[in-house]
Amino acid sequence: MINPIGSDTLNPLYVDDTVQREALIEEGEKLPSLLVSSATAANAVMFAGGYFNPLTGYMSLADALSVAQHMKTSSGQFFPVPILNLVESSEPIAGAEKIALRDPNVEGSPVIAIQQVDSIETISDEAMALMTEKVYATNDAEHPGVAAFNAQGRIAISGAIQVLNYSYFATDFANTFRTAVEIRNEIEKRGWSRVVAFQTRNPMHLAHEELCHMAMKRLNCDGLVIHMLLGQLKPGDIPADVRDDAIRTMVRLYFAENSAMVTGYGFDMLYAGPREAVLHAYFRQNMGASNFIIGRDHAGVGDYYGPFDAQTIFDTEVPDDALEIEIFRADHTAWSTKLNRVVMMNEAPDHNKEDFVLLSGTRVREMLSQGIAPPKEFSRPEVAEILINYYQSLSAA
């Protein structure tokens, strides 16, 4: 199996020893504490599961700036985006060497992690703007990722963490949430050697399904890991439980047995386009995938990124020795009325736009809200039924 990044084995930061964890939970109730942002709590879950291997905690300002500019920490460790614990005020933890981080996404705000305090630094407006521009390629406050990043505060608390739970992900998505360690173990249990991963924050329509089949066939893969984001999204995105139902139904009906694994991870979407594509590849290598599908406008939003920027960044900015995982570069896929099958549009040079079954996201949402299933060339009827029920429940509310 492919090696994790930066070490021979994964080093998840979840405290697995029950006695030690219970002692830390008790200690955490007595420590100075901070209610952290949703992003910081989700990042704790990613540390816990091994996805951020080999990082051991939240970055200092120097490391964050270095990562933003060069995709390397000050010590030279590759990482594509800053991972910061940003707060508006550090007064509640003044003078503390160790603090408790409280989860804003769970009722009662329980302690999700214990953090060693290495530094408390105030980030200047100039430094914040630099990191924002480098990661998101814009400082536009209308960009949902930019808005979320800049809303967290300007005080960065760095230091190693010990994670005590998986927030709401392990309970709300018990059948889907998996750590990188668990996915590696499952891949080994299934006897898969070559594995391709597919990232999604949306339900999968027929074109997505066929893209996964194409990648598996062309790469001669033993298996596919459909890895869906379970964290916070922007308004209007379909909730994780609905996506989960739609994707599991598709896999059950249209994939061979033991060929596809449906999993999810606890991370808040950045919508950072190219930089987030690199981060997604980073996650997938750590969870054991040898290949990762990156399609048109991967992790993008609006018109902030070019359609293939998320692919070309691997040629222009990612150091050659940074990642072992291989990228499967995909174009937009759609049903060809000439060939009566789904194709990548760049592999059909004799086609015009009219030769493809294409529907905008807005049009699909309108149809589903009206109880109309998209054509079978666009969406599996069983998937469409799940989405129709969801959209109609919104209308009835």
Contact partners, residue 334, CB within 8 Å, separation at least 6: 207, 342, 343, 345, 356, 357, 358
d(CA 397, CA 395) in angstroms, rounded, equals: 6
d(CA 227, CA 240) in angstroms, rounded, equals: 12
Burial of 336 (0-12, 13-18, 19+ CB in 10 A): buried
Degrees, nearest 5: CA angle 43-46-47: 90
Compute the residue count for the chain: 397
d(CA 344, CA 234) in angstroms, rounded, equals: 28
Under 8 Å between Cβ of 131 and 61 = no
d(CA 115, CA 126) in angstroms, rounded, equals: 27
Query: Active-site residues: which are they?
Result: 201-202
d(CA 31, CA 323) in angstroms, rounded, equals: 38
Buried b (16+ CB within 10 A) or exposed e, 229-250: bbbbbeeeebebebbbbbbbbb
d(CA 231, CA 72) in angstroms, rounded, equals: 26
For 105, which DSSP code? Answer: T
- The torsion angle over the Cα atoms of residues 67, 69, 71 and 72, rounded to 10 degrees, is -60
d(CA 22, CA 8) in angstroms, rounded, equals: 29
d(CA 245, CA 90) in angstroms, rounded, equals: 42
Alpha helices in 71-124 (DSSP H): none
d(CA 389, CA 397) in angstroms, rounded, equals: 12
